[in-house]
Amino acid sequence: MMNDSDKIDPKQLVEEYKDIPPMPNVMVKALSVIKNPTTGIAELAKIMQTDQSISTKTLSLVNSAFYGFRQQITSINKALVILGMMKAKNIIMSLALKQMMTTQGSRDLWEHSIKCAVASEIIAKEYKIINPDDAFVIGFLHDIGKILLNTKNPLKYSKVRYLAQQGNVDLVDLEDAQFGTNHCILGAYISKKWQLPVILTNCIRYHHDPSQSSLPTVCGIVYCADRLVKPTMPAPVFEPKVLSKLEFSIADPATLRETILAKASIFLKEISAPS
């Protein structure tokens, strides 16, 4: 168990975490362009073309079965016209945060985040809850707080993850016991530091228990996505106390899981390939 001297103040930990910038530079630039109503696709294309990996993998993804376009896309400008700026932003985010998630967390964290993003997008679209592109962002960033715990004590956090994977103890409970905080709280602090939308911060904070959120149905998207893409689906798949708060119901989780994992595997393949 943790001693009082080992306890972490989550806000202090975020402020003291020097290896993580407020946000990757290419992501800052892309968001700036997207938020500015006077700019458009040409400006976003210029930003993407300054990063060969992002431009190459965006073209690879847009020409893959993930989107299923019939024509071959050979330029970033044309890719953005077809994709739209919000989908392009999500690709940029996935690639821009890859190094941070894999080096300061683990490759498993990044891959799980992609799977959860794809799942959130599919659920939001299927049940018409929120914009699917926004759901992708929520799903991708829901576990961002894990990088802080892993950086603070990699060995201890490795043990915490191992114990959680055995299925006997909840991950959040283990994190609280060992670190005095958890990835949901820390992730919400990161979201605030990056000045992300309040709805995103709320979903990161409560994605393990949407019933505690003021936006249970929106948080329920990432809650369901997170559980559907786990290596082994939990039993029950969704907790009754959470389901009672949601405005949607997934009738066939197993079939939805297969659809999600198949589509996520295409996304991962295309953006993981060498540039």
Tell me the pLDDT tens digit for each residue of 187-214: 998 898 888 999 999 999 999 999 999 9
What is the C-alpha separation between 67 and 65, in angstroms, rounded?
Answer: 5
- Does 28 reside within a domain? yes
Rounded to the nearest angstrom, the gap between the alpha carbon of residue 46 and the centroid of all alpha carbons in its chain is 25
Q: What local confidence, expressed as pLDDT, does residue 31 receive?
A: 86
Query: By percentage, how much of the chain surpasses pLDDT 90?
Result: 55
Q: Compute the Cα dihedral for 172, 165, 143, 229 and give only its sign.
A: negative
Q: Compute the Cα dihedral for 204, 230, 216, 94 and give only its sign.
A: positive
Average pLDDT estimate for 1-30: 65
What is the C-alpha separation between 26 and 42, in angstroms, rounded?
Answer: 15
pTM reported for the whole predicted model: 0.89
Q: Give residue 169's pLDDT band: very low, low, confident or very high (50, 70, 90).
A: confident
- Does 4 reside within a domain? no
Query: How do residues 22-35 score in pLDDT, each as one tens digit?
Result: 688 888 888 888 88
Q: State the DSSP code for 141.
A: H
Average pLDDT estimate for 253-257: 97
Whether the bond into 236 is cis, omega within 30 of 0: yes
Q: Give me the number of domains the chain comprises.
A: 1
- Does 231 reside within a domain? yes
What is the C-alpha separation between 228 and 245, in angstroms, rounded?
Answer: 18
Cα distances from 221 to residues 27, 134, 188, 189, in angstroms, run 24, 11, 17, 21
CB 160 within 8 A of CB 178: yes
Domain that holds residue 137: 10-272
- Does 113 reside within a domain? yes
- Does 5 reside within a domain? no
Query: How do residues 86-102 score in pLDDT, each as one tens digit?
Result: 898 899 999 888 888 88
Q: Give residue 3's pLDDT band: very low, low, confident or very high (50, 70, 90).
A: low
- Does 1 reside within a domain? no
DSSP string, 16-51: H-TTS-SS-HHHHHHHHHHH-TT--HHHHHHHHHTS
Average pLDDT estimate for 92-118: 90
Name, in order, each residue with C-beta under 8 angstroms of 49's C-beta and a sequence gap of 6 or more.
Answer: 55, 76
Q: Give residue 37's pLDDT band: very low, low, confident or very high (50, 70, 90).
A: confident
- Does 224 reside within a domain? yes
Token pair listed for 209: 């228990």
Q: What local confidence, expressed as pLDDT, does residue 42 receive?
A: 87
- Does 251 reside within a domain? yes
Token pair listed for 259: 């659809």
Which CATH number characterizes residue 149's domain? 1.10.3210.10
Calculate the dihedral angle through the C-alpha atoms of 204, 207, 213, 218, rounding to the nearest 10 degrees: 90
CB atoms within 10 A of CB 140: 25
Nearest Cα to Cα of residue 187 among 203, 171, 174, 167: 203
Nearest Cα to Cα of residue 178 among 57, 38, 1, 60: 1
CB 275 within 8 A of CB 56: yes
